[in-house]
């Protein structure tokens, strides 16, 4: 979107954006890891699969635990309207499929 705010952002805002990117990507990572047992055909490996799944699960919970407070803070910080330049999903003008990344 040319003409909408600065091309390069201040460090804090930049961090905030990447934080949100991470929050959006976390479920994708989780899905890929959760799908792995379905790919491993062959011998029944319920024990191994179960341990693996619970470990991934715990990892995701930990990641969400780390991200959540930062996301809440970033949302509060950006309460003041700021130009959103590169956050991929923009529900603003076009309003089509976007992940609701405004504010």
Partner 1 sequence: MPFNVLVLACLVYVIFLFLVAFVVERRAALGRLGFLRSPVIYTLSLSIYCTAWTFYGAVGYAARSGIEFLTIYLGPTLVFVGWWLVLRKLVRIGRQQRVTSIADLISSRFGKSNMLGVVVTVIAVIAATPYIALQLQSLTLSFSVFAVDTPEVWRGPGNADIALWVAGGLALFTILFGTRKLDAKEQHHGIVTAIAVEAVVKLVALLAVGTFVVWGIAGGIGPVIDRLAAVDAPGWQVQPDRWIGLIALSAAAVISLPRMFQVMVVENIDESHLARASWAFPLYLFLMSLFILPIALIGMERMPAGGNPDMLVLTLPLGEGQGALAMLAFLGGFSSATSMVIVETIALATMISNNVVMPLWLRLRPEAAMSGDLRSGVLLTRRLAIAGVLALGFLYYRFSGGSAALASIGLIAFAGMAQFLPALLGGIFWRGGTKVGALWGLLTGFAVWAFTLFLPSFGEGAAIPAQVFSDGLWGLGWLRPHALFGTDGMDPLVHSVFWSLSLNTMVFTLGSVLTFPDPVERIQGVAFVNAFDREAQAERLGWSHGQAEPEALLALAQRILGEEALTFFEAQARGQGKEGFLPDLTPDFLAEAERKLAGSVGAATAHAMISQLFGRATVTVEDLMAVANETAQIMEYSARLEAKQEELTRTARQLREVNEKLTQLSVQKDAFLSQISHELRTPMTSIRSFSEILTEGDLPPAMVADSGRIIHSEAVRLTRLLDDLLDLSVLENGTVQLNLELAHLGGMLDRAVQAASQTRPERRFEISRNPLAEEIFLLTDPDRLVQVFINLISNARKYCDAEPAILRIAVRQRGGRVTVDFIDNGKGIAKDKQALIFEKFARLTDQTRAGGAGLGLAIVREIMANLGGSITYLPGQRGAAFRVMLPLRLEKPADGART
Of the candidate residues 60, 82, 85, 86, the single one contacting partner 1 (CB under 8 A): 60
Stretch that binds partner 1, among 1-9, 10-18, 39-47 (CB under 8 A): 39-47
**Contact indicator for 94, 85 with CB cutoff of 8 Å:** no
Residue 45 is a binding residue for partner 1 (CB under 8 A): yes
Residue 30 is a binding residue for partner 1 (CB under 8 A): yes
Residue 103 is a binding residue for partner 1 (CB under 8 A): yes
The binding site for partner 1 (CB under 8 A) comprises 20, 23-24, 26-28, 30-31, 34-35, 37-41, 44-51, 53-54, 57-58, 60-65, 67-69, 71-72, 81, 91-92, 95-103
């Amino acid at each position: 979107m040319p003409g909408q705010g600065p091309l390069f952002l201040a460090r804090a805002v930049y961090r905030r954006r990447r934080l949100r990117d991470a929050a959006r990507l976390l479920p994708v990572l989780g899905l890929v890891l959760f799908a792995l047992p379905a790919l491993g055909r062959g011998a029944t490996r319920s024990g191994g699969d179960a341990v693996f799944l619970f470990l991934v699960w715990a990892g995701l919970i930990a990641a969400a635990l780390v991200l959540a407070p930062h996301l809440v803070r970033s949302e509060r910080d950006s309460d003041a309207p700021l130009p959103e330049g590169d956050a991929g999903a923009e529900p603003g003008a076009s309003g089509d499929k976007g992940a609701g990344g405004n504010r």
